[in-house]
Amino acid sequence: MKRSGDSEREKRRKRRKLLQELGDQKIPFLGPTDHGFQELWDTSYSGLALRRSSSLPSELHGKVQAAFLTLRRRGCLLRDLVRIRDRDVFTAVSRLLLGEPGHTYRYLDTRLFAIPWHSEDTDVKGQNCCDLDLRVACKALWELNTFFCTDVNQLKEGEKLTQFPKLGETKQSDTESKDSEDSKNSDGEDSVSKNSEEGDTESKHSEEWDVESKHSEEGGCGSKQEWESGSKHSSEEGESSQSTLTEANVAASEGNREGKHSTQREPQAEHVAPGSLERPVDHLKHSLSDYHIEDTKTLSSEQVSTKPSPLQVCTAPTKFNVTLLNYMDPAAVSQLKEEPYYGMGKMAVGWHHDENLICHSPVAVYSYSCCDAADEKAEGGSGEKTCWRIGLKVAWDIHTPGLMLPLESGDCYYMRENLNTTHQHCVLAGDAARFSSTHRVAECSSGTLTYIQSRCQDALSNLHVDPETGSHSLLALRPSMLQHCEEIHNEVEFEWLRQYWFQGQRYTRFCSWWTGPMEQLEKDWKLMETMTMLFLATVEEEGQAEEGRREMAEILLAALTERQQQRQTWRDRCHSSLAQTLPPEEAPVDRPFWGVDDPSMPLPFDLADIISKVESLLWRWGCEEWLKGGWMETTSFSERPVEDS
């Protein structure tokens, strides 16, 4: 559900107030070297499970990490031009959606179209939509997905995988503990550049963090922005931790950083130990509660816009249907924001819940940090790097300390049970460039190709085509049928066709899977334009009952007005200054678009004249009704018999 402007302003005001009340004080958080860390994990963060890199098959590591590098080298990981509070901004994170064929993920007014992860021999099935390198890369991530599905399902209620090893258990655990000491950085899934079309940036306290997109769709949004998958969904998710990021900075983030994982060092920032606050923070409890933002999915109709009804709940076995791949190089991003409540360090993604997910479904994340040999040599061979970290907190509970967990390259973590609902997490940036693969059970009730194809068939079932002449006619003229068809008409155009073409040629460059289906959707949409023309003709036809025509005219006026407004918005976005900075193969395409004299189109692109005509009809009928009502009232009064006195 979209939040109103007033609601957003109020939340930003509360965020600023909260930070002012906190002042320089920080809420406590615990890392692996702090006393009570394991107990805190067991009691307050039991839904979090960590699987160390060493516990995964080495062959799987090799395939997955090679897949990341292949996809980036081939230009498959791209920044999204998303919509935040009526402004276009670039994401600082480059990403790609993989998943079940025909699935999509929506966040921040952006629908991502999944590249199928080639789980079977596609040559045999005649679905060879990618070249060999990409098929191998996609299949590697499908194998990771299969591993996660099995691994999560093996967990019993309340059971953890490998928690952070206790100090002194092994040489590895000593290293891990050191890496995590006083750390302040974590997992960077989705972050969004704060650059608007005008290049505006917002001050640190103008909109602080919370939330991500809707159950989604992963990723982070520009600082202070909410994320949606997806998210509806997606999300996904979280707010960007960038305080200032120029277009050049964002572009630079795509620089080459591929290579081996380097040795990690302890972060420099200090965290506040429990009990070290100089003043109690209990009085902030009410503020935090008021400030808590309920997750409402970018899943909405807007995209993540509408939550599924009835609510879907995940049941075993878990089957992750999409993964959102993310890539970020902190060295190419300037001024990452500091985590404001705990002092955990620089944030790549702000506090959020992952959105656009089936209720209580788990999330699995694979983290791969890398840097090339040239970088290590340039740094004098020290090899010391701050590792990435994930921060967790109980949502708006200032009494329970936060939890900070360092991640080594190849580590995986699961958020299980209801952890994603009751807690929030953030990603704290390390020094090295990082890939992540975030596997989810996305809520796709209105986000699959099968879904939208069935919607098209539903609408077109009201259109009859004469087999001899090829002429079209409507089977039913009921107002309810008109409204149903026009809703589908708008959904196909603005949730699918324009979303797809706004992302330019990015899909067709390396995968042809969506090409055929989108061509068919466009043909179906064109037939819906014909249906709208026929409905308009019915409204104008004098022989029809006026009452039915008037109701239909009101429905058409609402649908056409929305269509006109959305077309203008999409045209503006396609021709914005930010869009023009993209290379031709990535630049938005204003499609469908046609000229005034295009004989193949039943209606004009610009609907202003048609809207005016429908408004005139409604106005005329209103005047006639008023005059008729006034005449009847006058007649009734004048013809009233006069009683004898």
pLDDT digits (tens, 9 = 90+) for 51-68: 999 999 999 999 999 999
Residue 134 pLDDT level (bands cut at 50, 70, 90) = very high
pLDDT value at 49 more than 50:
yes
All residues at 6 or more sequence positions from 201 whose CB lies less than 8 Å from its CB, including other chains: 194, 195, 243, 244, 245
pTM: 0.76
pLDDT interval class at 213 (50, 70, 90)? very low
Mean of pLDDT values over 103-128: 78
**433, HSE (Cβ side, Cα atoms, 13 Å):** 27
| pLDDT score of 158 | 42
Grade residue 155 by pLDDT with cuts at 50, 70 and 90.
low
pLDDT band at 252 (very low <50, low <70, confident <90, very high): very low
Lowest mean pLDDT among 194-203, 546-555, 597-606: 194-203
pLDDT tier for residue 316 given thresholds of 50, 70 and 90: low
How far from chain centre, in Å, is Cα 83?
11
pLDDT band per the 50, 70, 90 thresholds, residue 135: very high
pLDDT surpasses 70 at 92: yes
pLDDT at 241: 46
* Confidence category of residue 609, pLDDT binned at 50, 70, 90: very high
Return the bridge partners of 364, or none. Answer: 414, 439
Residue 570 CA: distances (Å) to CA of 567, 588, 600, 610: 5, 10, 22, 20
CB-facing half-sphere around the CA of 407: CA atoms within 13 A: 34
Between the alpha carbon of residue 283 and those of residues 11, 17, 288, 397, 403, the distances in Å are 19, 13, 9, 12, 22
Q: How far apart are CA 40 and CA 35, in angstroms?
A: 9
Position with higher pLDDT, 295 vs 620: 620
Per DSSP, the three-state class of 321 is coil
**For 57-66, 347-356, 575-584, which range has the lowest pLDDT when averaged over its residues?**
347-356
The alpha-helical segments, DSSP class H, found in 126-182 are 132-154, 171-180
- C-alpha 598/C-alpha 529 separation (Å) is 13
Q: Across residues 288-311, what is the average pLDDT?
A: 38
- What length is written for the chain? 645
Amino acid type, 365: V
What's the pLDDT at 333? 84
DSSP helix/strand/coil, 146: helix
| Mean pLDDT computed over every residue of the chain | 76
Mean pLDDT of 214-232: 32
Strand (E) or helix (H) holding 472: strand 472-474
Please tell me which of 17-21, 135-139, 167-171, 520-524 the model is most confident about, judged by mean pLDDT.
Answer: 520-524
Q: How far apart are CA 560 and CA 573, in angstroms?
A: 20
- The answer to whether residue 460 scores a pLDDT higher than 50 is yes
Name the nearest CA neighbour of 393 among 299, 292, 297: 292
SS (H, E, C) 327-367: EECHHHCCCECECCCCCCCEEEEEEECCCCECECCCEEEEE
